[in-house]
Chain A
C-alpha cells in the first residue's frame, strides 16, 4: 500500500466513542447556502430520520436565502456549520475569516452559464460585450472564464430568480444544473433553444458545496463536527435510496418557508445531486476534499484576484480521507 489511512484523532473518537444517549446533546446550528430545496435534502433527511440525534447532536437547520448569506452567518457566529462553495470559502479565508473545510459534499461543479440562442450566443466568445447576470457570491468561475477568453462582459447582479434572463434583461445568466436550468425549462424554454456553458468543459471544474466551520469553533469540539459529517452523509445516502420520501420532506420544508414547491423540479434536483455527491466512477470517498481539487481552485483564485490560500492540511479538517 502506497497510501495508508491516516484518520485524525477526532474521527476515531467520533467513530469509537459515540456519546451515550443520555448525555446532554451537543447543540449545533446549520445554515444551508440557499433557501430550502433538494440541494439540501441530505441534511433535512438526517435531521428527520434522527441521524444527528443518534450521534448526540441537536441540530437546528436555519432557513437560508439570499438575505442570509451562509458565510456571513458563520463569520458572525450565528451559525456553527454552513455550506459554502470551495472557492468562496478559500476567498473568505484569504480575507481573514478562518474557515475550515470539514467535508467536501459536492465533488463536481454544478454551476454553468446559460444563454438563449435567439440572442445569437452559440460559443463562449459570443458572450463578449453582452450583459450577463451573475450571483454575487459565486462569480469566481465565470470571471475566470471571462479572463481566460479575454471577454469584456457587462456583469449585473443576479437575483434569486431567473426572471431577468427569461425577460431578456440579461443575455446570459449563471444557473445551477440542478436548479435554475430546470426552472428555465419549466418556464417554457426548450433545451434546444438554449446554449449551455459547463465550466468543467473549460478547465474550471470547482467542486462546490462543502461544510465549513470557523476554525476556533471546530477546535472546540472536532468530534461533534465529525459526527455531523457522518450523520449528513448517512442522510444523503438515505435520501438517494428513498427519493420519494426525501422529496416529500423537501417539499414540506419549502411550503413551510412559503417557497413555490414543485415536486418534479425537486425530484429532478435530487437526481442531479446524486451525480454530484456520489459521482459515477469516483476515486474518492464521499465527503472528501481532494488535494488536486483544492490546488486547482486555489491556483485559479490566486490568478484571478491574488487570493492566497493556506495549505491543504490547514484548510481541510475532514474526517473523510482516502
Chain B
C-alpha cells in the first residue's frame, strides 16, 4: 500500500471543498425538497381537476343512458302493455338514443303472459341498422345472467361489469339494468328487468385521450377492480388491479385498489404498472357505475425541469468546486513552496553547509517573516559557530598547557618509595590526587644527613594554576631552607618570610614540617596552620597530634613559629594529610570527618603503608562518588627503629 505524505495544499483543498460541498448539499437538499413538494401540490390540484372533470363527463353520459330504461320501467309499472306497445317502446328507445347500443325488456319466467318462460324483446344496432331478436332459449337462459339476476336480487338498478359482447362485433359493453315490479295479487312482485346496453368505446377513447405529459396516462377500473382501460392492452378486461398487485408483489397497490373500488378519492405515490417508474396517482369514483378513474403523473417527467435544473446546478457546482480546488492549491503552493525551500535549506544548514543560500520570498506575510527570520538565524548561527570554533581552539590550547603543567607539577614531587633504601629504619608512602589538572597540595621528603630525615606536607590556599605555582615555589623554598642543623621552626620562619615578600595576591599555605632523627625516633616539627597529623602507635593507640599553635605560612612576614617534638617507637606510624581527606563530601554534603579517618586508620592497622594509603584513597574516591572537591594528599611514615 502506497502511503504518501499529505501536504498543506492537499489538506486545505480537502477541508475547503469538503465544507463547501457539505453546505451546498444541505442548501440543495432543502431547495429540492421544497420545490418537489410544491410541484406535487400543484400536480395534486391539476390531477384532481382533470379527474373530476373527466368523471363529471362520464357521469353525464351514464346518467343520460340510465334515464332511458328508468323511464321505461316507470311506464311498465303503470300498467300492462301489449306486445306491440312493448316492441315499440324498446325500438324507439334505441332509435332515439344514439348512445344506446341496444335495449331489452326481459320478463321474469311467465311474468308477461303467464305462458312464456322466456319473453324478452331486444333491439340493437347492427352495422348501422336496427335489428331485433327475442332473447331466451335453452342455450341462453337470461335469468342466469348477471344483468338480470343482480338487479333482481338487489332490488335496484345496476351497471354490469363491462364485458365483450359476442353479438355486437365484440365491442366492449356495459349494461344498465333496471328491475321493474307489478302488482300481482295485490303484492308488488318482481316482473323483469329493462336493460340499456352501451358500448364503452367512447369511454375508452375518452380515457385514452387523457395524456399527461409524455408518458402519463389515465385508467378506469370496474367495480371489481378490472382494468376497463389502460395503456397496457393486455391488462384490459383480463386483469384486476389486485391481480397485478399480486403479480408485482405490491401490497400498496392492492390497498390503493381497495380504496378505489370502495368509492374513495385519493392522491398517492404509486409506480407505473408497466415500467415500475415512480408516479403520482389521483383517483376518484364514478359513483353511478361504481367504477373508479385514476390518472397517473409520471414523477420523472413532473420533476424533469427540476431534475434538469438540478443537473445544471450540480455541473456548475462541480466546475466551481474544481476552480476552488485549483485556487486553493495554487494559493497553498505559494505558501508551501518557500516553506519547502526553507526546509531544504535547513537540512543543508544542519548538514553543515552554513553558506547555503536561503530561497528568496518577495511576500511580506508570515511566510516572508519566517524566511527573513531563517536568514537572520543562519547569519547569527554562522558567526556563533565561528566564535565557538575560536573559543574551542583556545580552550584546547589551555587544556594542553594545563596537562603539561600537571606533568611538570607531578614530576617535582618525589615518587620513589621507599625513598632511601640506604636508610633501613624508615618506610614511607605518599599520594597526591589533584581535584583539577593542577593542584595546590604538596608533599616532600629528603634526608639532610645520615641521621636526619625531613618531611613536609602543605596545602596552598585556592586551587588551579595560581595554587600550583605557589605550591612549586613553596616546595622549592622548603627544600632550599631545610639545611643541616636548622630547627623546623626556623625553616618555617624563613619560608614564611620569603613567601610573604611581594605576595600581592595574599596567597598562603598551611604546612607541617618535621625532622625525624632516625637514630632516636624523635620527631621535631613545626606546624604552619596545617591539619594535625595522626600518631599510630604500634599495637596501641591512634590519636591526633596535640594541638600546636602556628599561623599559616606566607600570609604575614616576620611571624614566629613554634617547635614541638615527640618520639616514635619502633613500628609506630605517623600519618599526614591535607583537608581534602577529612573534608571530602558525599552526595548529601556530609564530610568524611576526622573521626571517620581515625576509625578507618584503625581498621587498616598492620597493612603495609602503601596498601593503607591506596585503600584510603580508593575509599575517598568512592565516598565522593568521583566528584572530588579538593586536592587529596596523604603521607604515611613508619619508623622501624634505629639504624643498625
A residues with CB within 8 A of B: 66-68, 131, 136, 156-157, 159-161, 163-164, 166-170, 185-188, 190, 258, 260-265
Contact = CB atoms under 8 A, between A and B. Distances in A.
Interface in B230-271: 237-243, 246-247, 254, 257-258, 261-262
A156 B108 CA distance: 14
B144 A159 contact: yes
Given A166-B224, A264-B246, A157 B153 contact: no
A159 B145 contact: yes
A66 B144 contact: yes
A167 B154 contact: yes
Contacts of A170: 153
B224 A187 contact: yes
A156 B258 contact: no
Residue among A157, A170, A264 with the highest chain B CB neighbour number at 10 A: A264
B149 A186 contact: no
Q: Which 3 A-B pairs have the closest CB atoms?
A: A169-B153, A187-B224, A186-B242
A67 B166 CA distance: 14
A164 B144 CA distance: 11
B170 A163 contact: no
Contacts of B140: 67
B154 A262 contact: no
A187 B141 CA distance: 26
Nearest to B235: A262
Interface string B144-167: 111001100110001011001010
A231 to B, nearest CB: 30
A73 to B, nearest CB: 11
A264 B243 contact: yes
A288 to B, nearest CB: 35
Contact of B146 (A156, A161, A262): A161
B225 interface: yes
Nearest to B221: A188
12 contacts: A66-B144, A68-B139, A161-B146, A163-B150, A186-B240, A188-B224, A188-B225, A188-B242, A188-B254, A188-B257, A188-B258, A262-B243
Contacts of B224: 163, 166, 187-188
Given A161-B161, A163-B161, A186 B246 contact: yes
Nearest to A263: B247
Interface residues of B, number: 35
A190 B240 CA distance: 14
Given A260-B237, A264-B247, 5 more contacts: A156-B149, A161-B161, A166-B224, A187-B224, A265-B243
A170 B154 CA distance: 9
Nearest to B166: A258
Nearest to A66: B144
Question: What is the predominant secondary structure among interface residues of chain B facing chain A?
Answer: mixed
Contacts of B166: 258
A67 B242 CA distance: 29
Interface in B158-180: 158, 160-161, 164, 166, 170
Contacts of B225: 186-188
Contact of B154 (A159, A168, A261): A168
Contacts of B240: 186-188, 262
B170 A258 contact: yes
B16 interface: no
Given A186-B246, A258-B166, A264-B243, A159 B237 contact: no
Nearest to A67: B139
Given A159-B144, A188-B261, A262 B239 contact: yes
Contacts of A263: 247
Contacts, number: 79
Contacts of B141: 67
Contacts of A164: 146, 149-150, 153
B592 interface: no
Nearest to B158: A167
A186 B150 CA distance: 20
A72 B154 CA distance: 31
Interface in B107-152: 139-141, 143-146, 149-150
Contact of A156 (B153, B170, B241): B153
B631 to A, nearest CB: 114
Contacts of B145: 159
Contacts of A261: 238
A187 B246 CA distance: 12
A156 B225 CA distance: 25
Given A169-B154, A185-B242, A159 B258 contact: no
A188 B261 CA distance: 8
Given A188-B224, A261-B238, A264-B246, A169 B164 contact: no
B195 interface: no
A136 B170 CA distance: 28
Given A163-B161, A167-B158, A188-B261, A157 B239 contact: no
B226 interface: yes
A299 B242 CA distance: 42
B158 A260 contact: no
A159 B170 contact: no
A129 to B, nearest CB: 16
B249 to A, nearest CB: 11
Contacts of B161: 161, 163
Contacts of B258: 188, 190
A58 B76 CA distance: 54
A205 to B, nearest CB: 28
Contacts of A161: 146, 161
A270 to B, nearest CB: 15
A68 to B, nearest CB: 8
Nearest to A267: B247
Contacts of B257: 188
A277 B159 CA distance: 39
A258 B163 CA distance: 10
Nearest to B140: A67
Contacts of B150: 163-164, 167, 169
Residue among A161, A166, A188, A190 with the highest chain B CB neighbour number at 10 A: A188
Given A156-B153, A163-B224, A166-B224, A187 B242 contact: yes
A131 B243 CA distance: 28
Nearest to A251: B238
Nearest to A163: B146
B487 to A, nearest CB: 141
Contacts of A262: 238-240, 243
A157 B242 contact: no
Nearest to A268: B246
A185 B241 CA distance: 11
Given A67-B141, A163-B161, A262-B238, A157 B246 contact: no
Nearest to A258: B164
Nearest to A261: B238
A67 B224 CA distance: 24
B261 A159 contact: no
Nearest to A68: B139
Contacts of A157: 143-144, 149
